[in-house]
Amino acid sequence: MIENLTPPATPDVLKQARVDFPILSRTVNGKPLIYLDNAASTQKPQSVIDAVSRYYSHENANIHRGVHLLSTEATAAYESARQKLARYLNASDESEIIFTRGATESINLVAHSFLEPIINAGEEILISHMEHHANIVPWQLLAKRTGARLRVAPIDDHGNLELDTCLSMIGPKTKLVGIVHVSNSIGTVNPIESIVTAARERGIATLIDCAQSIQHMPLDVQSMGCDFVVFSGHKMFAPTGIGGLYGRKSLLGKMRPYQGGGDMISRVSFDGTTFKEPPSRFEAGTPHIAGAIGLGFALDYIESIGRETIHNYESQLIEYAVGRLKNCQGVEIIGNPEHRSGAISFTMENAHPHDIGTILDTEGVAIRTGHHCCEPLMTRFGISATARASIAFYNNSDDIDVLVDSLTKVRTLFG
Ligand code: PMP
């Protein structure tokens, strides 16, 4: 990717953004907070915090089952969040949006309700070498239960997916291709269009892990053409414990429930139970109502800036960060993908990533260190951990400059 040492100008529409996120004005260890751990979790704007607080102070009641006003209002707010998500992703119908706890639960839901009933011993699930554990372990567990085989498409030394090999691995035995859109560790943006097209031509289901793309770029599930998309609210300025699954209507309608309980049934008797249509079939029990409402407000916030604006600005900011880190003595960037979004992983000659993270914290700079739930990817690069800086639209070139200055201090300390 291009590196650029010219700091990007903050678009007018983003000038207020930092003020809208109250936590960004606090100090850490006596220094202004520089939050560069957005791939792990993003901060929340005041509008989301207020929406959650308003729900608990004015509308709190259980949804779908009540006839009283509070329940009706809570139901309307919860369902309006589903409509907002359907519009945000350009789903053809709001019943294609299932609320879950997040990307992890969404993948487990697809493994249990979609794939397990139709996969046989010897058939294959194809993932890539750069997946988050959330898109590895559920398939491994499923493979163990069914005798299916988990296959892994390789990546090159720059951290790009080896596309031709990946496409050649999609064959008559493949039942599902599950690929991450943007790597949480090294920031690679994968060519999901080519993969989805190749799988669809053979009638194979596709799942795209959009946990690290949904907050950074426009997404349109109809033009992506995939069958499932998974994501987490807390990485897109919404509360923790809420996220979602987009599923193609024709598939969801045939899928078995994920969990059993209240709100997902049509009729229950001791002779048997019938289930509601999606999305209710997959939302057993009382959901995270406040979280869903907060997620709806997070989408409003993102839309008020504009996803194209966010994407363009962040692309320039990440190029600037790559340029500055490449020129920072002692720093080695892990992965140099053709297209990058959100995250940069790096190591330093004499300092362990945990030491880097600890020293940066004393400067008020929050980054993540470790394997980022991508142990196979770390192994591929012959390392056990990296330091990772990850951005959101409220970051700017000053944040990157403080990061680089602080890394210079790390180098001085560790020689
Ligand atoms: N996939 C990717 C690419 C991720 O970055 C993450 C979170 N780091 C997940 C899946 C899992 O998300 P969650 O823990 O919110 O379910």
pLDDT exceeds cutoff 80 at 328 = yes
User: Which of 132, 237, 371, 375 maximizes ligand 1 atoms within 8 Å of its Cβ, making it the mutation to test the pocket?
Assistant: 132
> Does the pLDDT of residue 78 top 80, yes or no?
yes
Q: Does domain 49-303 have CATH number 3.20.20.20?
A: no
180 lines ligand 1 (CB under 6 A): yes
**Any ligand 1 atom below 6 A from CB of 351:** no
Q: So what's the pLDDT on residue 392?
A: 98
pLDDT at res. 65: 82
Q: What percent of the chain has pLDDT over 70?
A: 99
| Exposure b/e, 334-373, CB count within 10 A at least 16 = b | bbbbeebbbbbbbbbeebebebbbebbeebbbbbbbbbbb
Structure confidence at residue 375 (pLDDT): 97
Per-residue pLDDT tens digits for 16-75 = 999 999 999 999 999 999 999 999 999 999 999 999 999 999 999 999 988 999 999 999
pLDDT at residue 1, rounded to an integer: 59
Q: What is the atom index within ligand 1 of the atom nearest the CA of 183?
A: 3
Least confident of 1-5, 76-80, 227-231, 327-331: 1-5
Q: Is the CB of 103 under 6 A from ligand 1?
A: yes
What spacing in Å lies between the alpha carbon of 230 and ligand 1's midpoint? 9
CA 72–ligand 1 middle distance (angstroms): 33
Q: What is the Cα gyration radius of the chain?
A: 22
Write the pLDDT tens digit of every residue in 82-102: 999 999 999 999 999 999 999
Amino acid 175: pLDDT: 98
Instruction: List the catalytic residue out of 210, 328, 373, 374.
Output: 373
DSSP β-bridge partners for residue 243: 100, 232
Q: Which residue has the tokens 């990850």?
A: 390
Residue 3's pLDDT band (cuts 50, 70, 90): low
- Model confidence at 5, in pLDDT bands (50, 70, 90)? confident
Atom of ligand 1 nearest to the CA of 104: 16
Ligand 1 pocket member 102 (CB < 6 A): yes
Structural domain spans, the chain: 12-44+306-414, 49-303
Shortest-distance atom of ligand 1 to CA 184: 5
Per residue in 345-354, pLDDT tens?
999 998 999 9
pLDDT one-digit tens code per residue, 235-273: 999 999 999 999 999 999 999 999 999 999 999 999 999
Q: Is 190 in the pocket of ligand 1 (CB under 6 A)?
A: no
pLDDT of residue 350: 87
108 lines ligand 1 (CB under 6 A): no
What average pLDDT does range 126-149 have in this prediction?
98
Please tell me if the CB atom of residue 104 comes closer than 6 angstroms to any atom of ligand 1: yes
- Mean pLDDT score, 276-296: 98
The CATH number, out of the four listed (3.90.1150.10, 3.90.226.30, 1.20.810.10, 3.40.50.300), of the domain defined by the range 12-44+306-414:
3.90.1150.10
Tell how far the Cα of 212 is from the centroid of ligand 1, in angstroms. Answer: 8
Which ligand 1 atom is at minimum distance from the Cα of 105? Answer: 16
Q: Is 132 in the pocket of ligand 1 (CB under 6 A)?
A: yes
The answer to whether residues 129 and 378 touch, using CB atoms and an 8 Å cutoff, is: no
- CA 396 to ligand 1 center in whole angstroms: 24
pLDDT at position 181 over 70: yes
pLDDT at 66: 83
Checking if the pLDDT of 4 tops 80, the result is: no
pTM here?
0.98
* pLDDT at res. 95: 98
pLDDT category at 2 given cuts 50, 70, 90 is low
CA of 180 to the centre of ligand 1 (A): 10
Nearest CA to ligand 1 atom 12: 103
Query: How close is the Cα of 231 to the center of ligand 1, in Å?
Result: 7
Q: How far is the CA of 211 from the centre of ligand 1 (A)?
A: 6
- Please confirm, yes or no, whether 373 is among the known catalytic residues: yes
Structure tokens at 34: 């520089």
Asked if 326 and 346 count as a contact pair (C-beta separation under 8 A), the reply is no
Alpha helices (H) in 183-327, listed in sequence order: 192-201, 221-224, 249-252, 289-305, 307-326
Q: Is the CB of 288 under 6 A from ligand 1?
A: no
Q: What pLDDT is attached to residue 103?
A: 98
Distance CA 126, CA 175 (A): 8
